[in-house]
Structure 1
Amino acid sequence: MKKIMFILISCMMMFAVTACQSSNSGGGTSEVNGGTAQPVNENKIEKEQTNNANLTTETPQSKGGKKTIVFSTHYEYDSLNEAKKKYEAAHPNIEIKLNYIPSVDGEKGKEYSDNFIKKTNTELLSGNGPDMVIMDHLPMGNYVNKKILANLSEMMEKDPTFKKDQYFNNILEGSKLNGSIYGLPLRFFVYGLAGDEEAIAKTGIKFDDQNWSWSQFNELAKGLVKKGDRQSALFGNREDFLNEMVQDNTAMFVDQANRKANFQSEPFIQLLNQVKKMFDDKVVTERPTKVYFVPAQINSPADYILSLREYFDKPKLYTKPNVGGQKVGNYYRAYNTIGINEKSAVKKEAWEFLKFLLSEDLRPAANKTGFPLNKAEYDRQVKQLIKDGSVKAHEEGPLKGKTIKVTEADIQGLDKYISGAIYPVEFKPTKIQEIISNESKAFFSGQKSAEDVAKLIQNRVTTYLNE
């Protein structure tokens, strides 16, 4: 196992819930990943550089017979710049105008980001705005409710060239809001628990992680701590751990499209009590200690080989426990989710460009980070990794440039894990996280009952959703 301080720092980063709008798109960007605030490593998240300070999102008029597609991307992505050039070269009647914020660190960068989000949101709500939008930092549920976004499910059904079986259908299904798809992710990440398989095996305790709840995990972890050499199973704090679970199961507690909350409910009250019990039983601890599991985000086939070994010498990726009574499945986060403006004058052209962005023809530039929605491109990446026979870690990372051998057996479980990813994780920093963190403190300190806190959270979230 790697040095204990690295594990503790990683755990704190994974469980910390902070409202972190990106302030520096040149490698220091921070995003909330499935309820776990984690600095976005430039080696994990595609480098986002920008020299364009033009924040305009108004659609320019077509000139000289050309049709212009205005695409609001928030940040500049090398892959989209390459895609723009390639598409325009093949379609001389189309111009792609990419709008994004300038790359500035610190408070100025946050100001640019906040202003860009506010401007884009205002324009879309007023019936204007760009033709295409990356929704990662925008309230897509609100747009769906107000019929601002084009129904992509209908466009898919009417387009004989779009073959659903070419894509991960579990991710397509998970992208639906109110029964239809309004935003298509170019890529996605999967979440799980990186476990120390060797240390777990020494305890003699066996378990099935394919269908377990946090309650079952709690009982298992108590046995691991009792029989093994670790003082706890996980590391974190109560409020952040609760938020982690809520964000993993957002659809159970928040219906943003219809502005409804479901916190004054038995599942959430049970969740409050479950988190408290896990800390009372010392299954999760706030004190520095050795652990059996660390929350993990996997970004690519190569990352599947490397990331787990950043925590343990002999790791295994386990399915995250659910809150109870759910269908068996893994968690994922959509990345670069693109919507099309329902009122766009170039909606057909925007759809064609979106299909192009999803195609495997963009490799390798468009697939640096995240698993591609396109299955053929995913298969290509896996085959190339096996053919290479090894993958080299980043010099500045915890593995310090170490080369890890790769065989087909090493990666065969990844296909099944990805195919089982059916639960989309909410990652955007929102007021809801802040409300949950602030109000739950009173329960964890014993000042209020779970029922009273659930009622307070329900009322505050409902007010927020209807603002």
Structure 2
Amino acid sequence: MKIKGLLVMLIMLMVTSACSGNNGGSLPVGGESGGTDKPQAQAGNKKTVVIAVQGSNPFLEAAAEQFEQEHDDIDIEIKSYMAMPEASGGGMSAAISQADIEKYVQTVTTQIMAGKGSDLILMENLPLSKLVEKKVLVNLYDWMEKDSSFARSDYYENVFKAAQDGDGLYALPIAVNIDVIQGRADLLEKAGIEIDEGTWTWEQFKAISKKAKEQIGQEYYAFINVFPLNLLISYMEDNYAELVQPNGKVNFDSDLFREMMRQIKSMYDENVLQAEFTYDYDKAIFSQMTLSSPEETMRLMSADKYQFFKGPTSKGESSGIPYRSWVNLGLNSKSKVQQEAWAFLKFLLSEQIQQSPALSGFPVNKKIAEKRLDDAAAKLASGQLEYAFDAVEPAAAKKKAEEVKKLLEHTGAKLSLDFKVQSIAIEEFNAYMSGQKSAEEVSKLIQNRVTTYLNE
């Protein structure tokens, strides 16, 4: 489970790096971390697949080791691009900083644009649409189609579809984390509030929260420990396809974006939210949640006082439950070992790897995701699920697991931002929130800076 904005350090990370935290990667395997190209041909017929990653991740490292044991003709080399060298020993890895993200984005983007770089590339924070437009990534649907041993129906195809750029799949999600709003059912019932999650907007969210405060007390807030920058990122993620359209059109100088900024500011001005940190978590009517595993989700669902909702949107409509990819890999179109790289991608989607305890999130393999949910429900019903809130009868536990399965089946809105675009928006948005510049001035500045960046 991840609760947005609970700790000051998390907020500071949002401010300085705007990093979502799901930067899959691994420890460097063989050779130094960094961005120099290495010859891929090895002695004899052995080939090397090089993977560019941002930081450390035991999942990829363990999967690479298992893959090499089963494929003695292929080596997997994982290159980490950190601004500062990673500490060795002790089993600890350094947190990813803004400098690390900037180095990764700049180095990897430059390499792949020049027709070089690694074979497989971790796509978090990279400008996916820009890379697709330049034809430097492979449409992975092509490999799925010509591989007779691969069946797309074994996976959540709605997740693949949401991850598309146009009609192609250029970044493959290995697992997903589901974003929801967790509501205090007891407080909403006390306030006499019912929510139509299929159509509610941020404006309705504000009105509902104000009504709830009037009924249950002004010391309650819609969210706690959610700051203006957190909301800006949420708004941008929900509307990114419209703000930066697939055809390259930039739409920040628009009523859509200006209204987003005004709505965010009004929630703090009208005391729906407070820009102060607190440990009094019981004063939150809602919480922004990321469901990060079947087991943790079932634990949360054991509490009667909590209820999950699809998050509000700007227009009251959405293409599905929003999700974040975990270990999201693209294939370099200039790679000389595409077949071997595809073999490793397919291995990451296999039942063997999708049930790994090191995998963070819900497996995209339907069979494994459903099995893990059923197992967690059985543990919940038998009292063996650690830290469960309340006792749950077997039939009720099974029903809760089925509800989560439906969430997965209706997951259809990928949340992601180009790191550079996000950084530009955050820099200029601060001037609006502080009253230094108007919404019109800020939206035009963001428009010009993002347009310049995308045209580079």
Specify the alignment match of 1:4 in structure 2: none
Query: How far did residue 333 of structure 1 move?
Result: 0.7
Confirm or deny: 8 A CA contact 2:181 2:288 kept in the other structure.
yes
Confirm or deny: 8 A CA contact 1:59 1:131 kept in the other structure.
no
Deviation string 1:192-220 (CA, Å, 9 cap, x unpaired) is 11211112111122221222111111221
Specify the alignment match of 2:42 in structure 1: 62
Q: Is the aligned partner of 1:204 residue 2:192? A: yes
Unaligned runs of 5+ in 1: 1-6, 22-30, 394-400
Rounded to whole Å, the distance in 1 between the matches of 2:197 and 2:314 is: 13
Specify the alignment match of 1:24 in structure 2: none
Q: Is the aligned partner of 1:454 residue 2:434? A: no
Does the C-alpha gap of structure 1 residues 17 and 328 become closer, same or farther in structure 2, counting only changes over 3 Å? farther
Specify the alignment match of 2:373 in structure 1: 382
Rounded to whole Å, the distance in 2 between the matches of 1:426 and 1:47 is: 17
Q: 1:280 aligns with which of 255, 269, 274?
A: 269
2:324 aligns to what SS in structure 1? strand
Rounded to whole Å, the distance in 2 between the matches of 1:409 and 1:322 is: 28
1:176 aligns to what SS in structure 2? coil
Amino acid aligned to 1:387: A
Which structure shows the higher strand fraction? 1
Q: Is the aligned partner of 1:431 residue 2:391? A: no
Specify the alignment match of 1:103 in structure 2: 86
Amino acid aligned to 1:140: L
2:40 aligns to what SS in structure 1? coil
Rounded to whole Å, the distance in 1 between the matches of 2:229 and 2:101 is: 27
Superposed, 1:30-69 pairs within 5 Å as 32-33=19-20, 53-55=32-34, 56-69=36-49
Query: How far did residue 391 of structure 1 move?
Result: 5.8
Range 163-172 or range 447-456, more displaced = 447-456
Superposed, 1:158-307 pairs within 5 Å as 158-229=146-217, 230-235=219-224, 236-255=226-245, 258-287=247-276, 288=278, 290-306=283-299
Q: Is the aligned partner of 1:354 residue 2:345? A: yes
Rounded to whole Å, the distance in 2 between the matches of 1:83 and 1:349 is: 15
2:45 aligns to what SS in structure 1? coil
Rounded to whole Å, the distance in 1 between the matches of 2:124 and 2:377 is: 32
Rounded to whole Å, the distance in 1 between the matches of 2:368 and 2:179 is: 20
Q: TM-score, normalised by structure 2?
A: 0.83
Identity of aligned residues (%): 29
Confirm or deny: 8 A CA contact 1:59 1:69 kept in the other structure.
no
Rounded to whole Å, the distance in 2 between the matches of 1:196 and 1:14 is: 23
Does the C-alpha gap of structure 1 residues 233 and 69 become closer, same or farther in structure 2, counting only changes over 3 Å? same
Q: TM-score, normalised by structure 1?
A: 0.81
Specify the alignment match of 1:18 in structure 2: 14
Rounded to whole Å, the distance in 1 between the matches of 2:240 and 2:341 is: 30
Confirm or deny: 8 A CA contact 1:149 1:339 kept in the other structure.
yes
Query: How far did residue 328 of structure 1 move?
Result: 5.2
2:6 aligns to what SS in structure 1? helix
Unaligned runs of 5+ in 2: 88-92
Q: CA RMSD in A?
A: 3.3
Confirm or deny: 8 A CA contact 1:189 1:332 kept in the other structure.
yes
In the comparison of the two structures, how many residue pairs are matched? Answer: 433
Superposed, 1:350-429 pairs within 5 Å as 350-365=341-356, 368-389=359-380, 390=383, 405=391, 407-426=397-416
Confirm or deny: 8 A CA contact 1:249 1:425 kept in the other structure.
no
Confirm or deny: 8 A CA contact 2:321 2:412 kept in the other structure.
yes
Confirm or deny: 8 A CA contact 2:123 2:171 kept in the other structure.
yes
Amino acid aligned to 2:240: T
Range 112-121 or range 127-136, more displaced = 112-121
Does the C-alpha gap of structure 1 residues 112 and 447 become closer, same or farther in structure 2, counting only changes over 3 Å? closer
Q: Is the aligned partner of 1:77 residue 2:68? A: no
Query: How far did residue 404 of structure 1 move?
Result: 6.2
2:148 aligns to what SS in structure 1? coil
Query: How far did residue 402 of structure 1 move?
Result: 6.5
Deviation string 1:360-403 (CA, Å, 9 cap, x unpaired) is 1225436531111111110121122123335655xxxxxxx667
Deviation string 1:275-297 (CA, Å, 9 cap, x unpaired) is 23323332222245722011111
2:19 aligns to what SS in structure 1? strand
Rounded to whole Å, the distance in 1 between the matches of 2:452 and 2:41 is: 40
Amino acid aligned to 2:6: S
Amino acid aligned to 2:429: S
Specify the alignment match of 1:91 in structure 2: 71
Does the C-alpha gap of structure 1 residues 140 and 9 become closer, same or farther in structure 2, counting only changes over 3 Å? closer
Deviation string 1:202-244 (CA, Å, 9 cap, x unpaired) is 1122221222111111221121111113532123333442232
